[in-house]
């Protein structure tokens, strides 16, 4: 039996999520190695808030989203949705619980069925859930949802290919919110759109959040979008949650050398007082063969001896501001603090 939690303002709670994808190799197709996609990721999403996950390509953002939705099974770890242990459910119970959580995809071109009309695409989750007894109620709901996302009702019987990227993303959003879920996982929802359209879709997501009380997990590599929309931000690197803080705190006081390097890449939001630019050097190591110690140690400009040896714990540097970095470990010895070059040893 799952353990249920009672924390009213926390709608989604993720504890110690680990995901290793087996890599099939060899004649018999047995898993010889694993992609370490997620290593001990924990976070909470409060009701009505936006929790952003940022980091470079391949750091595990989408995998986090998929594990949370149980579209892929986590190797270990626990997910609570609305106080209920989602990772302990199966079958009809899982289907019911999962109604409370929806996904908005990056690519509005491939995520909509080209053979279905706009009305049927939006109605599909409503029909599956069997929410409405009569056709009239169901159709009325579809129209209300279309209006809510700014789609003209004359589009009802058109097909996805007749629309622009922004309009298609509105259709995807309408489908996701048709039954007013608790949580929406938005995986790069505007990355595929023209910059001019991005702001409109972001504004729509924010308006829907206010009107419907939605909570978002917002996955993005675009820090300027995240700075605008997020309440809380988690920075990921090679499957690890490196830093977690409120958006205000993270952007004004980044603590992890990786976060600092990420922010430096974006001149618009970099702190002008930072003179020594800490531009990221070297490649991200392979997640099938991650470095020993801290995942960022091979690229870190502040790498110390201990960083090659041990995975850093999560230090709560200030209330609500956590950082996985040995720099914040006050118990280190002189030898452990010894500076080493942030390149391959
Ligand atoms: N089904 C899979 N099988 C094997 N490896 C996978 C699978 N899905 C993802 N991975 C690997 O897991 C790691 C994390 O991938 P993920 O898609 O979560 O990254 P991401 O942060 O979403 O990247 P992007 O910004 O490119 O979308 C990557 O190394 C990726 O290659
Ligand atoms: Mg992704």
| All structural domains of the chain with their residue ranges | 1-100+181-281, 114-178
φ and ψ at residue 17, rounded to 5 degrees: -75, 130
pLDDT number for residue 8: 77
60 Cβ closer than 6 Å to some ligand 1 atom: yes
What residues have CB less than 8 Å from 24, skipping those under 6 apart? Answer: 30, 31, 32
Model confidence pLDDT, tens digit, residues 197-225: 999 999 999 999 999 999 999 999 999 99
Average pLDDT, the chain: 91
Task: Map residue 76 onto helix, strand or coil.
Answer: strand
Q: Whose CA is nearest to atom 11 of ligand 1?
A: 37
Query: Domain 1-100+181-281 classified CATH 3.40.50.150?
Result: no
> 19 forms bridges with which residues in the sheet?
38
Burial of 261: CB neighbours in 10 Å, binned 0-12, 13-18, 19+:
buried
What residues have CB less than 8 Å from 118, skipping those under 6 apart? Answer: 146, 151, 155, 156, 157, 158, 159, 160, 171
Three-state secondary structure readout of 226-274: HHHHCCEEEEEECCEEEEEEEHHHHHHCCCCHHHHHHHHCCCCCCCCCC
Model confidence pLDDT, tens digit, residues 246-261: 999 999 999 999 999 9
pLDDT number for residue 274: 46
| Residue whose CB lies within 8 A of the most ligand 1 atoms, among 18, 21, 53, 286, for a mutation test | 21
Q: Whose CA is nearest to atom 19 of ligand 1?
A: 58
Between 331 and 107, the higher pLDDT residue: 331
In whole angstroms, give the CA distance from residue 136 to residue 321.
Answer: 50
């Amino acid at each position: 039996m799952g353990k249920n939690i009672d924390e009213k303002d926390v709608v989604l709670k993720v504890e110690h999520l680990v995901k290793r994808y087996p890599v099939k190799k060899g004649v018999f197709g047995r898993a010889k190695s694993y992609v370490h996609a997620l290593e001990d990721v924990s976070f909470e999403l409060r009701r009505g808030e936006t929790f952003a996950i940022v980091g470079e390509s391949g750091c595990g953002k989408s995998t986090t989203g998929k594990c949370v939705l149980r579209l892929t099974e986590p190797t270990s770890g626990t997910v609570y949705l609305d106080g209920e242990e989602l990772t302990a459910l199966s079958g009809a119970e899982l289907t019911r619980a999962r109604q409370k959580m929806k996904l908005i995809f990056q690519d509005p071109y491939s995520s909509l069925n080209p053979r279905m009309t706009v009305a049927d695409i939006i109605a599909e989750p409503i029909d599956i859930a069997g929410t409405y007894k009569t056709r009239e109620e169901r159709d009325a709901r579809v129209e209300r949802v279309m209006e809510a996302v700014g789609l003209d009702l004359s589009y009802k019987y058109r097909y996805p290919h007749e629309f622009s990227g922004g309009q298609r993303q509105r259709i995807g959003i309408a489908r996701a919110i048709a039954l007013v879920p608790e949580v929406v996982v938005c995986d790069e929802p505007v990355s595929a759109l023209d910059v001019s359209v991005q702001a409109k879709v972001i504004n729509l997501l924010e308006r829907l959040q206010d009107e419907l009380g939605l909570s978002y997990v917002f996955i993005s590599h675009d820090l300027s979008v995240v700075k605008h929309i997020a309440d809380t931000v988690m920075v990921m690197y090679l499957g690890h949650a490196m830093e977690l803080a409120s958006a205000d705190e993270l952007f004004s006081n980044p603590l992890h050398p990786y976060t600092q390097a990420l922010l430096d890449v974006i001149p618009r939001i970099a702190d002008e007082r930072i003179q020594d630019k800490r531009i990221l050097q070297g490649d991200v190591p392979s997640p099938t063969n991650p470095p020993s110690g801290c995942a960022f140690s091979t690229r870190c400009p502040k790498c110390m001896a201990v960083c090659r040896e041990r995975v850093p714990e999560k230090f709560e540097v200030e209330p609500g501001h956590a950082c996985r970095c040995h720099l914040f470990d006050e118990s280190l010895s002189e030898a452990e603090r010894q500076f080493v070059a942030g390149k391959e040893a």
